[in-house]
Amino acid sequence: MTISVQAPAPVPGAAPGQGGGRGSRRALGALAGLLAAAVALGAAELVAGVVGPASSPVVAVGDAAITLTPEWLKQFAISTFGANDKVALVAGTLMVIALYALAVGLLGLRSPRLGVLGIALFGGIGAVAALTRPEGGPLAALPSVAGAAAGAVALLALLAPLTRPATSTAEPARNGPPGDERVIDRMRGMLGSVDRKGTAIDRRGFFLTSGVALGAAAVAGGGARLLQRRFAVAQARDDLVLPVPASRAPALPAGADLAETIDGVTPLFSANRDFYRVDTAIVVPQVRPADYRLSLTGMFDSARSFTLADLYGRADLIERDITLTCVSNEVGGTLAGTARWIGVPLGAFLRENGVGPGSTQLVCRSVDGMTIGAPTRSALDVGDAMLAIGMNGEPLPVEHGFPVRMIIPGLYGYVSACKWLTRIEATTFEAYDAYWVERGWAADGPIKIAARIDTPAPLRAFPAGRRAVAGVAWAQTRGISRVEVQVDDGDWIDAELAPEVDADLWRQWVLRHDFAAGRHTVSVRATSSDGEVQTDTRADPFPAGASGRHTIQVDAR
Ligand SMILES: Nc1nc2c(c(=O)[nH]1)N[C@H]1C(S)=C(S)[C@@H](COP(=O)(O)O)O[C@H]1N2
Ligand SMILES: [Mo]
């Protein structure tokens, strides 16, 4: 390769070797670590594109982090980042990897062998994390191993130009084509240098290798994306035709949705793309309809297994409107949503398969290993409980549990709404603690009565005078009979309720109030149809769901 260097006029006093101090050598070493990590991750993702996306070390390590994260931190992440909690986690994991990589690069400068050891250690962590995942077969370690190998090669290649003995840098000058000595000196000044310890920095070599490493990482990453697409089930889902249910959802009364007339109220139905999402899955499980099986084990007449066609083909499918709620929802929070679900009636299905009278708990298992323990009694007796296959007129969205999930009205999702459901084990509460219960959450999770102010938004300023205060309230299976609003220290005033659709749905409410200019405190409380007035006693979401009244400050001007 010929390199022509336009030598600028020599700077007086500038000697070859300047700018190659220890500081810049360390910076390049750290950069070498980062680039090696990029190569490692690219290679790992590429192999994960063959083995399966859940075997990616970033996913596996992030997943292990979720499993090991204390509940208070998980609760914080869910309530702070909401559906973006996984994005935050992956970003956090990548940041830790980056810091680790910087350290490995610096370590590698001192001893390349130690650097390689650092990478091997990281690959080992990734491999163990991937192997211990529920979907992790023996191949799950491959991406981490391949990533570590590629990362080690990249690190050594990148460190070489930074750790050459000084004499070798001089080689090209002696053996290379004859040239203008001054130019060669300049080149060495710009592209290479010798530090005090007599180690040469071959900058040109380093940046060339860096370019190659970066390119390799990018190509591997791009290839990984393409390969990992093969696992997506979006197309197979699109090809499914949702069956027509035998029993349709009851018709909605006129004016059922206040959102049509009042700005800012949560719509009666939550669109699938807006529906809150809470789960521990970093990569959304992709279950092919043809591969799907639902197996019944434990206290049933006999162990049985059903295909998706078995469930889609049933003659007793029901369509129902149900509001789902998360136990992690804070007072005033948005972890609740309403959809029109289609599914197999759960009680009938369980009876038909002879669920044992001694069973108190159904341990529902997701393909990603999540376990959700639902009370057998509720599964049998709560009207409209179902194995859901449809959501708002479509097959279940992949993030919401495609192809089958459970829904039991009146119970928080963590004890009822298992997504990507693949096994139901009829057992007892004594015999098994499901995932969240093992982490201290209550074993039974009835949804607490709640009311939320949707509009005005907290701390909002608006013109003094008449203004709608509105929102939603829920007490699934019981229904809402009353919502009252209090402004400052005034009396509790009855809000107007939207027509009742079903006890399993939230109910919108509105109160038009005359706000005098100034700051105001607005509170809301709901009463269920069986007479429970929402308590003012505050409780955190952990361990059994939040209680307390939603109160906001507003500013009328
Ligand atoms: N497989 C699986 N199912 C799961 C969960 C999960 O983490 N994994 N989370 C549960 C919780 S805590 C809730 S609130 C609901 C949320 O359902 P959504 O994401 O469809 O709103 O799913 C439940 N089902
Ligand atoms: Mo939840």
- pLDDT tens across 83-98, in order? 677 888 888 888 999 9
The mean pLDDT of 457-469, rounded to a whole number, is 95
Ligand 1 contact, 338 CB (< 6 A):
no
Residue 230 has pLDDT above 60, yes or no: yes
Report pLDDT for 491.
Answer: 97
Ligand 1 contact, 365 CB (< 6 A):
no
> Atom 24, ligand 1: which residue's CA is nearest?
418
Ligand 1 contact, 402 CB (< 6 A):
no
- pLDDT tens across 310-355, in order? 999 999 999 999 999 999 999 999 999 999 999 999 999 999 999 9
Ligand 1 contact, 411 CB (< 6 A):
no
Residue 175 has pLDDT above 70, yes or no: no
Report pLDDT for 78.
Answer: 78
Q: Which ligand is nearest to the CA of 545?
A: 2
- In the DSSP assignment, the letter for residue 64 is H
List, as ranges, residues with CB under 5 A of the ion ligand 2: 278, 326-327, 413-414
Report pLDDT for 171.
Answer: 44
Report pLDDT for 11.
Answer: 37
Give, for ligand 1, the residue of 414, 439, 474 to mutate: max count of ligand atoms closer than 8 Å to Cβ.
Answer: 414
Residues of CATH 2.60.40.650 domain(s) within the chain?
Answer: 450-556
Does domain 261-438 fall under CATH 3.40.50.10490? My reply is no
CA pair distance 463, 467, nearest whole angstrom = 9
Block residue for tokens 């390969």? 227
Whether omega before 456 lies within 30 degrees of 0, making that bond cis, reads yes
| CA 435 to ligand 2 centroid distance, Å | 12
- pLDDT tens across 243-287, in order? 999 999 999 999 999 999 999 999 999 999 999 999 999 889 999
The mean-pLDDT minimum among 90-94, 177-181, 194-198, 391-395 falls in 177-181
The mean-pLDDT minimum among 65-79, 144-158, 313-327, 461-475 falls in 65-79
Residue 502 has pLDDT above 90, yes or no: yes
Cβ 495 vs Cβ 511: under 8 Å: yes
Ligand 1 contact, 324 CB (< 6 A):
yes
Range 478-495 burial, b when 16+ CB lie within 10 A, else e: bbbbbbbbbbeeeeeeeb
Q: How many CB atoms lie within 10 A of CB 76?
A: 14
Token code pair at residue 434: 């499901």
Ligand 1 contact, 364 CB (< 6 A):
no
* Ranges assigned E (strand) in 231-303: 293-298
pLDDT confidence of 484, banded at 50, 70, 90? very high
Report pLDDT for 198.
Answer: 61
> Atom 6, ligand 1: which residue's CA is nearest?
279
The mean-pLDDT minimum among 193-202, 326-335, 508-517 falls in 193-202
pLDDT confidence of 375, banded at 50, 70, 90? very high
**How does the average pLDDT of the chain come out, rounded?**
89
Token code pair at residue 471: 């929102």
Report pLDDT for 12.
Answer: 38
CA pair distance 446, 476, nearest whole angstrom = 9
* CB-count burial class (<10 Å; 0-12, 13-18, 19+) for 518: exposed
Nearest atom, ligand 1, residue 279 CA: 7
Residue 2 has pLDDT above 60, yes or no: no
Residue 166 has pLDDT above 90, yes or no: no
The mean-pLDDT minimum among 184-188, 279-283, 361-365 falls in 184-188
Residue 74 has pLDDT above 70, yes or no: yes
pLDDT confidence of 195, banded at 50, 70, 90? low
Beta strand 518-528 pairing with 496-497: unpaired
CATH number, domain 450-556? 2.60.40.650
| CA 84 to ligand 1 centroid distance, Å | 14
> Atom 4, ligand 1: which residue's CA is nearest?
418
Nearest atom, ligand 1, residue 278 CA: 19
Residue 106 has pLDDT above 70, yes or no: yes
Look at the chain and count its residues: 557
**In this structure, what are the phi and psi dihedrals at residue 355, rounded to the nearest 5 degrees?**
-65, 135
Ligand 1 contact, 339 CB (< 6 A):
no
| CA 415 to ligand 2 centroid distance, Å | 8
Q: Which ligand is nearest to the CA of 279?
A: 1
Ligand 1 contact, 420 CB (< 6 A):
yes
The mean pLDDT of 453-481, rounded to a whole number, is 96
Residue 309 has pLDDT above 60, yes or no: yes
Nearest atom, ligand 1, residue 276 CA: 21
Cβ 149 vs Cβ 200: under 8 Å: no
Token code pair at residue 390: 């449809």
Residues of CATH 3.90.420.10 domain(s) within the chain?
Answer: 261-438
If one compares 175 and 32, the residue with the highest pLDDT of the two is 32
Cβ 257 vs Cβ 270: under 8 Å: no
pTM of the shown model: 0.85
* CB-count burial class (<10 Å; 0-12, 13-18, 19+) for 239: exposed
Block residue for tokens 């700018």? 19
% of the chain exceeding 90 in pLDDT: 76
Residue 43 has pLDDT above 70, yes or no: yes
**DSSP per residue, 61-81:** HHHHHHHHS-HHHHHHHHHHH
